[in-house]
Amino acid sequence: MADKPQSGSILGIPYNFERPSLGRLLSAHWKPGEGMIVEKPFGIGYTLNLANWRSWIVVLVAGVLLWQERGGADDFDESDDGDEPVEVVVDD
């Protein structure tokens, strides 16, 4: 049986199933000369390049959205009285 390649690309999407190492993981996420998106060191697809400032903005926005979803903004919901009836006036 022929050996299958451990890394390459299919339809333009990179893959790498070689055994991961700490050095390869760190160097894949910190590439100062590259763009915001780089190939994953293990698995299929792309990941963020943490040496690029735009990646930190993406991480910050994702963190704020997660904080907001988990109830970090409960102070704003306290003033909303959703349980009381609302009077609607219609002019003819």
Hey, how many other C-beta atoms are within 10 angstroms of the C-beta on 44? Answer: 13
Q: How far is CA 91 from the centre of its chain?
A: 50
Tokens of 43: 């698995």
Give me the residues paired with residue 54 across strands.
none
Report pLDDT for 36: 93
pTM, two decimals, is: 0.61
Along the 92 residues of the chain, how does pLDDT read in single tens digits?
568 888 888 899 999 988 888 988 888 889 998 899 999 989 999 999 999 999 999 999 999 999 999 987 565 555 555 678 889 999 87
